[in-house]
Chains A and B, each alone.
Chain A
Amino acid sequence: MTDAIFYVLAGLILTSAMSMVQARNLFHAGLALITCFLGVAGLYVLLNAPFIAALQVLIYAGAIAVILLFGFMLTHHVMRDESNKRFSQQAAGMGAAAVMCGVLVAVIGASPWKTGPAPTHIDDLNQLGQQLLTSYLLPFELASVFLLAALVGAIMIARKEEGPPPP
């Protein structure tokens, strides 16, 4: 049963990712991207990590996809449709991606993966919170400062400049 769900989700993720990189219309690409994110969220549920699945739906399928669609809609009359490169470049990109994929799959197949005892419930929220506020306290606080810097930076970069800057 779990196996069947995995294969269905994998098919959904890969087909929507392919249609995302191939779509002529970028709005369709954005919709395919959201489908792909939701499929990945299903994969996290399958991996017993419901908290990460919720984060995936909220942040990726919610915030990030919406920001990308905003970016597309604010700029779409410059490049309406033709968003792929010439055929030779496309073939080169396809070749590079295929080589990358082949090498990765070969390495994954050849490596002896040491898996632990029977998988249990890993996404224990108590444990997660304790780890975040003890061993990972510094990265946790740095992440908040980082997000603040990104917020201020994004506003500063995207702001419309009016007149010359004050001396």
Chain B
Amino acid sequence: MTPITLQHYLILAAVLFSIGIYGALTRRNAVAVLMSLELMFNSVNINLVAFSYYMPDITGVLFSIFVITVAAAEVTIGVAIVLSIYRNRNLIDLEQINTLKG
């Protein structure tokens, strides 16, 4: 068994990101798409902290703090928009929310 290197973390994060993309593309429920987005945010954070550990520099950890901040704001606004659409049109199926489609 080879020792764990930076590449192991990067590949794990790439696979996690792809799973998030798969979820975001195939889910129809808006809340489920938001959950998949959180998976992608997590994989980015894994990358940043792994870089920070393997080329000792604290900048990666700092960036991951900012990413966590943005993720928290994003999910709050996302759920608020979903609730607003649900209240006005009584649906959260992304295939039926197509009023903006030309």
Contacts and interface: CB of A to CB of B under 8 A. Distances in A.
Do A and B interact? yes
Interface of A: 2-3, 6, 10, 13-14, 17-18, 20-21, 26, 29-30, 33, 36-37, 40, 43-44, 47-49, 51-52, 55-56, 59-60, 63-64, 67-68, 70-72, 74-75, 78-79, 82-85, 89-90, 92-94, 96-98, 100-101, 104-105, 108-109, 113-117, 119-120, 122-124, 127-128, 131-132, 136, 139, 143, 146-147, 149-151, 153-155, 157-158, 160
A120 B41 CA distance: 25
B79 A79 contact: no
Contact of B19 (A10, A14, A30, A150): A14
B84 to A, nearest CB: 5
Secondary structure class of chain B's binding surface, majority of residues? helix
Contact of B5 (A10, A105, A115, A131): A115
Interface of B: 1, 3-12, 14-23, 25-29, 31-32, 34-36, 38-39, 42, 45-46, 49-50, 52-59, 61-62, 64-66, 68-77, 79-84, 86-87, 90-93, 95
A50 to B, nearest CB: 11
Given A21-B22, A83-B29, A85-B26, A74 B83 contact: yes
Contact of B50 (A47, A51, A55, A60): A47
A21 B17 contact: no
Chain A: interface secondary structure?
A: helix
Given A20-B39, A43-B9, 11 more contacts: A21-B36, A26-B31, A43-B49, A59-B68, A60-B71, A92-B25, A109-B11, A116-B54, A131-B59, A153-B77, A153-B80
